[in-house]
């Protein structure tokens, strides 16, 4: 069985090679599935915020408590 990274790259290569309308249909199918949509949103958020500085979770909880 192929490693997940190789499998993913194969899927991406195949999707990128399709005409725009076919790519849209595939992406729409992913987005229509509630669980896959949530995963995609989570991954997009992680990618967008990847370079932001991190902070301790307890610090975040204290801030949330002050705001409540």
pLDDT at site 68:
80
The torsion defined by the Cα of 9, 54, 57 and 62, in degrees rounded to 10, comes to -140
pLDDT at site 2:
77
Q: Which domain holds residue 9?
A: 4-67
pLDDT at site 8:
94
Angle between helix axes 34-49 and 20-32 (nearest 10 degrees) is 100
pLDDT at site 44:
97
**Total structural domains in the chain?**
1
Q: What is the pLDDT of residues 1-57, one digit of tens each?
A: 679 999 999 999 999 999 999 999 999 999 999 999 999 999 999 999 999 999 999
């Amino acid at each position: 069985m192929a490693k997940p990274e190789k499998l993913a790259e194969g899927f991406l290569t195949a999707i990128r090679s399709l005409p725009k309308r076919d790519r849209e249909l595939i992406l729409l199918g992913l987005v229509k599935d509630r669980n896959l949509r949530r995963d995609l949103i989570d991954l997009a958020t992680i990618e967008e915020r990847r370079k932001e500085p991190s902070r301790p979770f307890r610090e975040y909880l204290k801030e949330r408590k002050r705001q409540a």
